[in-house]
Structure 1
Amino acid sequence: MLGKLNETEIDHLLKEQVVGRIACQSKGEIYLVPINYVYRDGCIYAHSGEGKKIRMMRENPHVCFEIDDIINVFQWKSVIAKGVYEEITDIDEKQQAMQGIIHRIMPLITSPEGHPSHGITEKDSDVGNTVELVVYRIRLEEVTGRFEQN
């Protein structure tokens, strides 16, 4: 049976997942890439080093975000959202977003010393040796969810 997820189910799935895919478009090129994220207050919070994704979202802030929970081809849930990229520049807000991301993905990390690009290290001083992190949010504007179950 195919069906639509209600708002509560969509919210739960967005909070439950850790990896989503963000699609951005600029100058006729489409780019789709997985990201680690945390969902809070109607927004996706994430971070990245400078690169193609950030450049494209700065040029065109309208993006699409997708997550799924797949058990098998006949039992899955999926959420697709359209939203707007907003770079976070306020230091306190940036720190809160990074703490949320770190707390969300930390249980999945087996050795913190190997992840300075995510702001996760044994020593705070190790983070400074990496590329400057861009912390951003996607303010979700239109969200839909679907499912299939036996």
Structure 2
Amino acid sequence: MRLKDKEITQQNEMDEIMEKAQVCRLAVSYHDMPYIIPMNFGYSNQVLYFHSAGEGLKLSILRENPQASFEVDINTEIVPSEHGCDWSMRYQSVVGFGEVEFIEGIEAKREGMTIIMQHYSDKVSVFKDSQLAGVTLFKLKINTMTGKKSG
């Protein structure tokens, strides 16, 4: 990272950002073109969990190339100034890279969906087997992640 004073190096600080973020932007490569998707997610032990319908472009891409990256951010705020070039922004963010694995089996899907739901609510979620059978779940095992903060 170019500006070391903005770098977040502590894993617990990055985990806190991951836990507070509401949206994860998942980035994949599609025929040498970037493709980015904002998604709901769950996070546990440096693994991101996502759910999806059974078909779609992102799934086709991930089945062909499971390498992916992600970005989350929190506490974003514009800091205006008298001069245009002096405007700034406050934020905390995490960017990382990893490999996607599809989750198979009802109990594994139940575990993944529970992690996703716990990200957004303290309520205990119950999933019917028929619901889980109709959803596609995948996880991104994070290989590397870096954090950054400003302001």
Q: TM-score, normalised by structure 1?
A: 0.78
Aligned to 2:98: 83
Q: What is the percentage of aligned positions where both structures have the same residue?
A: 25
Q: Is the 8 A contact 2:19 2:119 kept in 1?
A: no
Aligned to 1:42: 46
Distance 1:134 1:126, change over 3 A: closer
1:137 counterpart (136, 139, 149)? 139
For 1:96, the aligned partner's letter is E
Aligned to 1:70: 75
* 1:18 Cα deviation after fit: 2.6
* 1:71 Cα deviation after fit: 2.9
Aligned to 1:104: 119
Describe the superposition over 1:95-136 as per-residue Cα deviations: whole angstroms up to 9, x where unpaired.
Answer: 1111221233347xxxxxxxxxxxx89x959948xx931101
Distance 1:91 1:79, change over 3 A: same
Q: TM-score, normalised by structure 2?
A: 0.78
Is 1:57 matched up with 2:62?
yes
For 2:30, the aligned partner's letter is S
* 1:19 Cα deviation after fit: 1.1
* 1:29 Cα deviation after fit: 2.8
For 1:16, the aligned partner's letter is K
Distance 1:125 1:146, change over 3 A: closer
* 1:15 Cα deviation after fit: 1.6
Q: Is the 8 A contact 1:86 1:138 kept in 2?
A: yes
The structure 1 segments of at least 4 consecutive aligned residues displaced by more than 6 Å after TM superposition are none
Gaps of 5+ in 2: 79-88
Give the 3-state SS of the residue equivalent to 2:104 in structure 1. coil
RMSD of aligned residue pairs (Cα, Å): 2.5
For 2:68, the aligned partner's letter is V
Aligned to 2:14: 10
